[in-house]
Amino acid sequence: MTDLPGYPSRRSFLKASAAGVALSGLAASASAEEKTPPVPLDQYERQYLNAEEWAFIMAATARLIPSEGDGPGAIEARVPVFIDLQLAGDYGTADDWYMEGPHDPTAEPARGWQTPLNPAEVYRQAIPTFNSWCETTYSKSFADLDTAQQDEALTALQKGQAVLAPELRDFFTILLANTKEGYFADPQYGGNHGMQSWVYIGFPGARAAFREWPERHNIKYPLGPVSISGERA
Amino acid sequence: MARQDKKRDVVIVGLGWTGSIAGIELAQEGLDILALERGHDQNTVPNFEYPQQIDELKYGVRLKMMQKPSHQTVTVRRSGDETALPYRSLGSFLPGNGVGGAGTHWNGLNWRPQPEELRLRSHVRENWGEQIIPEGMNLLDYPVTYDEMEPFYTRFEKVAGISGKAGNLNGVIQEGGNPFEGWRSEDYPMPPLPTTWDSTKFQEACTAAGLHPFHAPAGIASTAYVNPYGMQMGPCNFCGFCERFGCYQYSKSSPQTAILDALKRMPNFEYRTESEVLRVELAADGKTATGVTYWDEKAGEEVFQPADIVILSSYQLNNVHLMLLSGLGEAYDPLTGEGTLGKNYAYQMNGGVTLFFEDDNFNPFVGHGANGVCIDDFSVNQNDFGALGFIGGSYWRSGTFNGQPIRSMPLPKGTPGWGAGWKEGIGKWYGHAMSIGSHGSHMSYANNHLDLDPTYTDRHGRPLMRMTFNWQDNDLRMNQYMKSQMEPLAASMNPTSMQSGFKDVGAQYDVRPYQTTHNTGGHIMSETPAEGAVNKFSQTWKAHNVFAMGAGNFVQNTQYNPTGMVGGLAYHTVHAIRTQYLSNPRPLV
């Protein structure tokens, strides 16, 4: 990727920032960091998920955003790492949410989040329940099904045919939402590895400076993405 | 025992737009002023700096600039027959948090209501008769007129730094502006911003259809600008991170960019953060306030802060909550129509069409919150309510404002929500869709009101406020009319495909998807104490030294984003305090 002539690019700003960091004798530049391959997913040290949950998340996200076809899948984007870190953090524990009782988890969905469980607890309870449903239906846990069966089981989960307790009924909704978040969020959160989802759709990430572009009508923006930490792709 | 601090001339509750306006205008009178802010301190530097602010997950999805429901929230029910349940995680609306409030994370759309919207009951009566007003609709006139408000709208637009083009200068219609707006004494402080590809296509379609397109009035700087307080703005670079974000480059109008640094330099002004006001304290005779009691988070104790004047300038919902808890009026009873606090809670009725063009590149990340082109051809003062069967109207707009992919990924109907088909869809369609939005009025109804919840309490042990709210047929019919008019216009643009999203009659309020943070009413303005909570100067009928500012004053919601009206009313109020109240404190009406 080249910057446009005469365009004071985000990249030159980032280069200047990286130089500043180097002068202060701190860590190596962002582009050097980018060359260090991340720890393989099977060696990743989980922060929240247990082994059964990890196997489920690996298998389920791989069907929600599969690897085949153009663009990265959830596995290449390292979405499972993102989900693990989110559940270990203040999203998982619903720190910002009003969680006082009484709770009415049977209230109709339009009333919003009404389970007494936080998202991390929903994952913890829903995964074994759904695996049991898969055992009953297919005699295998979800991760061991073939991909067609996995798609069928996830569809049943989405449609409420694989019945979960009311306290867990938003599980598929948050699983899908968290998977897409991990696919598209800045790489600092563990997913969107190498910004490949941004490259795939043509989103320039944290560039956030388009002074000449409003009136460049119907011309595709040519520059690849940058991340908050200054990676380029 | 609460700590008691030294008495102040003025205590301000909440340091957003209206609190900042009250602060700087009253500080110019030499008054000793203390502002109490529930949230944290924040400013462009260091809080909104590049690149940390360009983080869709943190701010756009995890909502880290917003009020935390664990600190403050409401309960919601759709009718008096339902049990209200807490709004536990944010969805439908997003009250702000911290210095600057919602004025920090807004989109920047800055409108004046149409003159007819401020006298809507009279407008209906004069043209069609009161018999067209549906049962249960509390349709009211504002106790202020457009002509009275005009200088204060102008003042706010200069302070906030608004970009646009006048359509009506002193009664003379201006080419390229909005011909259906109320008169302006002066043009906008800055010219309009450039026009993106989607809004250009929309503009051309409108012109071909004989409609009257104009640039959206934007609280986004189009040029370098210095406002009346000496605050400087720089031109917007269309970074695409307005809504839910602080602006990193002093381009979006906000209390931070327009007022606060000038205010903080004044020696007679002080502000304290993490200081949540728990109640307004009334004198024994109940006719004035003696000050406020607040929770000082850093000291971990309650503080009684005496003051001669109390300005309530927190978010609309929180103002009403505080007034209910403090007895600053009687709670509204929808069955008898008596009482005023919590009355006429209203919202906004929005819809839209998404258009897909497989061969067009819209670069949806190039934009800002108030980008684009609008029409007012279907607005309140253009609609024949009698013939159409509803009271209201909307403005339409097209313009990229946020191409962030977690939240902004429109896909043609039939595209799967996950799996290989979804992945193929995002690759094919991202950047090839545009939208036209209808932003519509919302009337007030007996059913839609605010009171205290009988069950749930906040972290201080106070009852949460309870919202009783559902969509009403009048506004839903308005929405369906907009659909019937917008779809043919969209089709005239020859998209590859298009799809509509307009709520229809029978729709139930769903707290989950984001809709709008235009919550209005609950401490409405009125001609008499029987009808509302405050008079035309936002002075509470209950206690003459308490002023309640903001969108809580709206008797019903207009078709526009509320900030222009909120800012205008704030200047109208502080002008009355400066010129009429300080010399002789008393009820001004």
**All structural domains of chain B:** 3-581 (3.50.50.60)
Establish if A206 belongs to a structural domain. Answer: no
pLDDT at residue number A5: 40
Return the percentage of chain A with pLDDT > 70, whole number: 85
Q: What ipTM was estimated for this complex?
A: 0.97
Do A64 and B418 count as a contact with CB atoms less than 8 A apart?
yes
* Chain position carrying tokens 């159409």: B388
Q: Which letter does DSSP use for residue B396 in this model?
A: E
Strand partners, B304: B4, B293
- State phi, psi for B484 to the nearest 5 degrees: -65, -25
Query: Which residues make Cβ contacts (< 8 Å) with residue A6, sequence separation at least 6?
Result: none
B518 among known catalytic residues: yes
pLDDT of residue A3 exceeding 60: no
Q: How confident is the model at residue B2 (pLDDT cuts 50, 70, 90)?
A: confident
Question: What is the extent of the structural domain holding A193?
Answer: 39-97+113-201
Token readout for A208 is: 């956030």
Tokens of B311: 């300005």
A96 and B510: CB-CB below 8 Å?
Answer: no
A191 lies within 8 A of chain B by CB: no
Give the sign of the dihedral formed by CA A197, CA A203, CA A207, CA A208. Answer: negative
Count other C-beta atoms under 10 Å from residue A101's C-beta. Answer: 9
Mean of all residue pLDDT scores within chain A:
89
* CA neighbor of B467 nearest in space, from B332, B310, B377: B332
Residues of B whose CB is below 8 A from A176:
417-418
> What is the per-residue pLDDT for A24?
40
Has residue A161 been placed in a domain? yes
Q: Which neighbouring-strand residues pair with B306? A: B291
Q: Give the confidence band of A17 by pLDDT, cuts at 50, 70, 90.
A: very low
| pLDDT of residue A31 exceeding 70 | no
Strand partners, B173: B168
The reported pLDDT for the residue numbered A21 is 40
Contact B422, A73 (CB under 8 A): no
Q: Mean pLDDT throughout B518-530?
A: 98
Counting the structural domains of chain A, the total is 1
SS3 state at A178: helix
Distance CA B305, CA B287 (A): 18
DSSP 8-state symbol, B525: B
Note which residues in 144-183 of chain A have CB less than 8 A from chain B: 151, 154, 176, 179-181
Work out the angle between the directed axes of helices A79-88 and A171-184 (0-180°, nearest 10): 120
Q: Is B190 within 8 Å of B222 (Cβ atoms)?
A: yes
**Is the pLDDT at B191 greater than 60, yes or no?**
yes
Percent of chain B with pLDDT over 70: 100
Q: Are B297 and B274 in contact (CB under 8 A)?
A: yes
pLDDT tens, B277-335? Answer: 999 999 999 999 999 999 999 999 999 999 999 999 999 999 999 999 999 999 999 99
3-class state of residue B374 by DSSP:
strand
pLDDT by residue (tens digit) across A176-225? Answer: 999 999 999 999 999 999 999 999 999 999 999 999 999 999 999 999 99
Neighbours of B283 (CB within 10 A): 12
CA dist B139 and B141 (Å) reads 7
Say how far residue A187 (Cα) sits from the centre of its chain.
Answer: 9
Asked whether residue A166 is assigned to any structural domain, the reply reads yes
Distance of alpha carbon B302 from alpha carbon A85, whole angstroms: 37
Residues in chain A: 233
Q: Which residue has the tokens 């059964």?
A: A52
Task: Work out the pLDDT band at A8, boundaries 50, 70, 90.
Answer: very low
Q: For helices A119-138 and A171-184, what crossing angle results, to 10°?
A: 110
* Confidence grade of residue B521 (pLDDT, cut at 50, 70, 90): very high
Neighbouring C-beta atoms of residue B296, cutoff 10 Å: 18
Place of tokens 């896909």: B411
Interface of B with A in 120-159 (CB under 8 A): none
Size of chain B, expressed as the number of residues it contains: 589
How much is the average pLDDT of B345-360? 98
Query: What are the pLDDT digits (tens) for B474-490?
Result: 999 999 999 999 999 99
Question: How many Å is the maximal CA-CA distance in chain A?
Answer: 64
Interface of A with B in 91-150 (CB under 8 A): 91, 94-100, 102, 104, 107, 109-114
Which residues on B lie below 8 Å from A205 (Cβ)? 54
**Global pTM value:** 0.95
Q: Does A228 fall in a domain?
A: no
- Half-sphere exposure (CA, 13 Å, Cβ side) for A13? 15
A143-172 tens-digit pLDDT: 999 999 999 999 999 999 998 999 999 999
pLDDT of residue B1: 61
A63-121 tens-digit pLDDT: 999 999 999 999 999 999 999 999 999 999 999 999 999 999 999 999 999 999 999 99
Strand residue runs (E) in B357-462: 373-375, 394-398, 433-440, 449-457
Is A149 within 8 Å of A201 (Cβ atoms)?
Answer: no
Q: Which residues of A6-38 are buried (b: 16+ CB within 10 A; e: fewer)?
A: eeebbbebbbeebeeeeeeeeeebbeeebeeee
In a domain, A194, yes or no: yes
Report yes or no: B293 and B278 within 8 Å, Cβ to Cβ. yes
Among B73, B88, B222, the strongest candidate for a mutation testing the A interface, having the largest count of A CBs within 10 A, is B88
Report the C-alpha gap between B429 and B414 in whole angstroms: 13
Q: What is the pLDDT of residues B532-572, one digit of tens each?
A: 999 999 999 999 999 999 999 999 999 999 999 999 999 99
Q: Does the CB of B506 have a partner CB in chain A at under 8 Å?
A: no
Chain B positions touching A180 (Cβ under 8 A) are: 406
Query: Are B363 and A220 within 8 A, CB to CB?
Result: yes
Residue A35, pLDDT score: 62
Distance CA B214, CA B164 (A): 9
pLDDT at B369: 98
Q: Does A231 reside within a domain? A: no
Task: Locate the chain A residue with the closest alpha carbon to B76.
Answer: A111
What is the radius of gyration, based on Cα positions, of chain A?
Answer: 21
Q: Is A22's pLDDT higher than 70? A: no
DSSP-assigned beta bridge partners for residue B109: B218
Q: Is residue A146 part of a domain?
A: yes
Of B215, B449, B518, B572, which residue is the catalytic one?
Answer: B518
Q: Would residue A229 count as lying in a domain?
A: no
